[in-house]
């Protein structure tokens, strides 16, 4: 059964001595808002982590294949729908029969978790249509400015004998000593009707947001931790309050150090939720993590 309620959520995560999302146009330095010096993490980066978590936890589970994965060939992914439905594909075109065309796109939604969750443009050489997903994320932004550090790293071993006496500097890595990031998310029940996004799918998204960093550790990432997830659930599918008014109810206060300066840890913050009058306006809250 598809979800019957609209949701918004506020998600907090932090990084310690790591690079949460490098910018390839800036030598892989942590992404920054140049005006405020606050750190940024793209929606694409966070969706990748959700996909990876679902891929390892739901491996071989029907309906939970991942469309956009490492080294996947999208034409071959799209072709799976035509093969399963025994429909012949035409280059760059959906079937002329509208019923068959819908069957192809519906098959992709039913079998690929990320297609029915985030949507996808599947208009490649093998055309499986276009889907607008019910779950969308904004960019994450750090609460306070961050100060990226550039660290030189060395190696003990060399590749060739001729390099034995050469300098052992291997390269550089960029880290954020500490940053607490906030991101807003949106879940549309009306779009979920079209993709088949269900309550079970939504529960898996909440679990992914809680646990995805536990399965994404690497030397580059440092320590990344999910700190808090505040979910607003509307009484009906269209919603009962504007999303920005709900987001304003999640308040972050600096309790150690001066606001607007880099923080040293999560203990420097306190996250508060103002729930006054929400129930009367048809919105309930869930706090996770």
Domain with 126, as residue range(s), is 57-131
Clarify whether residues 242 and 202 are in a common domain: yes
Report pLDDT for 162. Answer: 73
Which residue bears the tokens 């050489």? 125
Clarify whether residues 257 and 221 are in a common domain: yes
Contact of 285 with 230, CB cutoff 8 Å: yes
Using DSSP's 3-state secondary structure scheme, residue 267 falls into helix
Clarify whether residues 28 and 68 are in a common domain: no
Q: What DSSP element (H or E) covers 206? A: helix 199-211
Report pLDDT for 284. Answer: 97
Count: domains in the chain: 2
Clarify whether residues 274 and 163 are in a common domain: yes
Handedness of CA 162, 168, 174, 178 (dihedral sign): positive
In a domain, 192, yes or no: yes
Contact of 271 with 143, CB cutoff 8 Å: no
In a domain, 87, yes or no: yes
Clarify whether residues 126 and 249 are in a common domain: no
Helices and strands per DSSP (H, E), number in the chain = 7, 14
Clarify whether residues 229 and 153 are in a common domain: yes
Clarify whether residues 171 and 199 are in a common domain: yes
Tens-binned pLDDT, residue by residue, of the chain (289 aa): 899 999 999 999 999 999 999 999 988 999 999 999 999 999 999 999 999 999 999 998 999 999 999 888 999 999 999 999 999 999 999 999 999 999 999 999 999 999 999 999 999 999 999 999 999 999 999 999 999 999 888 777 777 777 666 666 667 889 999 999 999 999 999 999 999 999 999 999 999 999 999 999 998 899 999 999 999 999 999 999 999 999 999 999 999 999 999 999 999 999 999 999 999 999 999 999 8
- pTM (whole model) above 0.85: yes
Straight-line distance from the first to the last Cα atom of the chain, in angstroms, rounded to the nearest whole number = 26
User: Residue 157 and residue 148: Cα distance in Å, rounded?
Assistant: 28
């Amino acid at each position: 059964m598809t979800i019957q309620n609209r949701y918004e959520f506020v998600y907090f995560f932090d990084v310690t001595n790591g690079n949460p999302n490098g910018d390839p146009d800036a030598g892989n330095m942590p992404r920054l808002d140049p005006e405020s010096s606050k750190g940024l993490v793209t929606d694409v980066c966070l969706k990748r982590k959700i996909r990876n978590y679902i891929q390892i936890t739901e491996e071989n589970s029907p309906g939970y294949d991942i469309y956009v994965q490492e080294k996947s060939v999208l034409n071959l992914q799209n072709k799976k729908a035509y093969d399963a439905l025994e429909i012949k594909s035409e280059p760059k075109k959906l079937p002329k029969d509208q019923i068959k065309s819908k069957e192809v796109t519906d098959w992709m939604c039913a079998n690929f978790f990320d297609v029915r969750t985030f949507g996808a443009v599947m208009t490649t050489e093998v055309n499986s249509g276009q889907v607008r997903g019910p779950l969308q994320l904004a960019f994450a932004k750090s609460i306070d400015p961050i100060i990226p550090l550039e660290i030189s790293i060395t190696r003990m071993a060399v590749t060739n004998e001729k390099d034995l006496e050469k300098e052992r500097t291997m390269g550089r890595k960029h880290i954020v000593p500490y940053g607490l990031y906030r991101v807003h998310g949106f879940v549309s029940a009306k779009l979920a009707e079209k993709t088949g996004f269900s309550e079970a799918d939504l529960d898996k998204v909440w679990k992914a947001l809680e646990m995805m960093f536990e399965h994404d550790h690497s030397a580059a990432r440092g320590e990344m931790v999910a700190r808090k997830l505040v979910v607003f659930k509307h009484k009906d599918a269209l919603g009962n309050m504007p999303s920005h008014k709900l987001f304003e109810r999640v308040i972050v206060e600096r309790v150690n150090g001066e606001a607007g300066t880099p923080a040293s840890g999560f203990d420097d913050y306190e996250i508060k939720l103002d729930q006054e009058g929400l129930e009367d306006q048809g919105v309930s809250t869930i706090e996770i993590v």
